Amino acid sequence: MADASKLKRKSSLGLPPSMEEASQNLQEPETVLVPTPYVRTVDGRTRRRTQRTIQLNLKITPECDTLIREIADQEGLLLAEVLEKALHLYKDRIAAS
């Protein structure tokens, strides 16, 4: 069996300071911090928050990937928004015929 006494470390901190040497901050009055009002910052992640929670993974051709990204860039939309609009237009077109 291993000798566990070799694993035990001796304290390297030394003796604690005497009461006279210790800080007197417990006798000082408390300082109260005045809370600053919360200001919500708007960053890129906040602007992109869309409440979409379902992930959809697809394999598409490089041409389709280029096309959907070009449309998203031109219109200032997310890829998911381009897909949603395309699906709604497709559904309307099928319903009309």
Q: Which of 3-12, 16-25, 82-91 has the lowest mean pLDDT?
A: 3-12
Q: Where are the domains of the chain?
A: 55-97
pLDDT in tens, 48-97: 667 777 888 999 999 999 999 999 999 999 899 999 999 999 999 999 98
- Asked if residue 44 has pLDDT above 80, the reply is no
H or E element that contains 85: helix 79-96
* Cα-to-chain-centroid distance, residue 48: 13
